[in-house]
Homo-oligomer: A and B are copies of this chain.
Amino acid sequence: MSIVLYHSPKSSASRRVRLFLEEKGLAYEAHEIDLSRQQQHQPEYLAINPLGVVPTILHDGRPLHESGTICEYLDTIFPEPRLRPDDPYDLALMRNWVRHVDGLIGNLIRFNWRHHLQKKAEKMSEDELQAMLTKIPSAERREAWMRVARSPYTEEELGEARSKLIGLLDQMEDMISGGWLIGGRYSLADIAVAPFVRRIDEEIAPEALSPVQRPKVAAWWAALQARPAYARADFGAFVDA
């Protein structure tokens, strides 16, 4: 098998790649990286992903990280069905959109890490915590681990993050035309933001997705969830019972 995916079921970037792979109909071998056990900071994983984040793919044995880069790469190698706009200008807009969505991940982390990662982190001794922090390459991620371990995000901080994520829905409402974000055709632009919208729907601001408030986004979200690939990607419930 030529595609191996290292992912975490609850990571939005991992979910993006899984949704993409299912939409393409590509076979892949999936390996779960347990973030709560810091498997992403182990030397063998850092060898294929120096940032120590998920996901990473191996394609014919060669590693590649960054979910947006992974999807564009695989969409070139396996051209059908094409999930990037044909028009170069639309393609450029798609790239800036994916980049913009990526830049909002910190807002999602404030909500997501309160669950399984916080439970783990707050039980760590000071020594365990410090030992873990020294293994994390990204300053942003070190900060997030510190926060969930010792000073969980406040309601005010969650509120700020919620506003930013609702702002993303407003941008989508402006962008959607012909049912999809770019060029009236389902593409990586839609796939890139789907894991964010899933979490907004589940916990962060479900009311913001009502057809009364944002009719185009509501229809977009219904259509995206109706795609067979969405069921196959199987995001699962975020919060453990």
Binding site for B on A (CB under 8 A): 59, 62, 64-66, 69-70, 72-73, 76-77, 88-89, 91-93, 95-96, 99
Contact = CB atoms under 8 A, between A and B. Distances in A.
A27 to B, nearest CB: 19
Copies in the complex: 2
A162 to B, nearest CB: 16
A99 B65 CA distance: 12
A88 B76 contact: yes
B88 A77 contact: yes
Contact of A95 (B72, B77, B92): B72
B64 A89 contact: yes
B96 A69 contact: yes
Which 8 pairs show the lowest CB-CB distances between chains A and B? A73-B92, A76-B88, A69-B95, A69-B92, A69-B96, A66-B96, A64-B92, A77-B88
B95 A65 contact: no
19 contacts: A62-B89, A64-B89, A64-B92, A64-B96, A65-B96, A66-B95, A66-B96, A66-B99, A69-B92, A69-B95, A69-B96, A69-B99, A70-B92, A72-B92, A73-B91, A73-B92, A76-B88, A76-B91, A99-B99
A96 B96 CA distance: 14
A31 B152 CA distance: 47
A66, A69, A76: residue with the most chain B Cβ atoms closer than 10 Å: A69
A65 B95 CA distance: 11
Nearest to A73: B92
Contacts of A65: 96
A73 B89 contact: yes
